[in-house]
Amino acid sequence: MESVYKRVLIKISGEALAGEKKTGFDFDFVSRVCTAVERCRKMGAQVGIVIGGGNFWRGVKDGAGKVERVSADRMGMLATAMNCLAVADVFKQQGTPARVMTAVDIQGVGERYDTGKSIEYMERGSVVLFACGTGQPFFSTDTAAVLRAAELHADAILLAKNIDGVYSDDPRVNPEAVKFEAIRYDEVLARHLAVMDTTATSLAMDNSIPVIVFALAEPENMERVLRGEKLGTTVNN
């Protein structure tokens, strides 16, 4: 079955790559993620991926009161580059063409991000991994994902999280929390729901890019989303 989306941007948290270990990599799980992405590619989807760095370093949390914010955020950018290199290598071992593009110059690690080249690589069938966030401190990798999606004219953002959608409250704390099948961006902002940070949410809203929030615990969910199955929560205008 062909993908209902021509081009997608997948956002994966760094913590998800660590699995139960919480830090570093669970390479068995990373392999499952890469296999699922390859199936998405075979469905005809052009795929870009932004990965967080939380399995190594979370700038605001880990550096608070110890490292100046700009330095802490730059350390986080390097963590995302480590993740992209590891995932790209797993892709290549599986026979999937993959490219790493970095938002800052890191010679020998990846190519400097260029919108035109990124689109060209995706059109040729490569999975493109975008490292180092936006390249600027004070911006999250969620914001980087939305920015890249807008620049690359992605049809949707697949937000792979540790929870299976958007809820009215934290379901781990409040058993009465209600899961939304669909919700508008303005409501997400008004209710301060934990989908993405407000900068990322506002940018997605301004560019009318739908975000599908789903659980990465089962990487095959990515394929289900591309088949058009109702899964998780869709956020849109």
pLDDT of residue 59: 61
* 216's tokens: 């990465």
pLDDT of residue 188: 94
Say if strands 98-102 and 111-112 run parallel, antiparallel, or are unpaired: parallel
Q: Which residues contact 81 (CB under 8 A, 6 or more apart)?
A: 100, 102, 106, 109, 110, 131, 132
- Domain ranges in the chain are 7-236
DSSP, collapsed to helix, strand or coil, labels residue 119 as helix
Per-residue pLDDT tens over the stretch 86-144? 999 999 999 999 999 999 999 888 999 999 999 999 999 999 999 999 999 999 999 99
User: pTM to 2 decimals?
Assistant: 0.94
Core vs surface per residue 149-188: b (16+ CB within 10 A) or e: bbbbebbbbbbbbebbbbbeeeeeeeeeeeebeebebeeb
CA dist., res. 20 & res. 7, Å (int): 31
Distance, C-alpha 174 to centroid of its chain: 26
pLDDT of residue 66: 81
Q: Would you state the torsion angle of the CA atoms of residues 24, 27, 33, 37, taken in this order, to the nearest 10 degrees?
A: 110
pLDDT of residue 1: 80
CA dist., res. 89 & res. 41, Å (int): 17
pLDDT of residue 96: 97
* 106's tokens: 């890191």
pLDDT of residue 201: 96
Distance, C-alpha 216 to centroid of its chain: 11
CATH class for domain 7-236?
A: alpha beta
Let me know: does 75 contact 84? Beta carbons within 8 Å.
no
pLDDT of residue 85: 96
pLDDT beneath 70: ranges in the chain: 59-64
Q: Which of 59, 86, 87, 51 is nearest to 75 (CA)?
A: 59
pLDDT of residue 46: 98
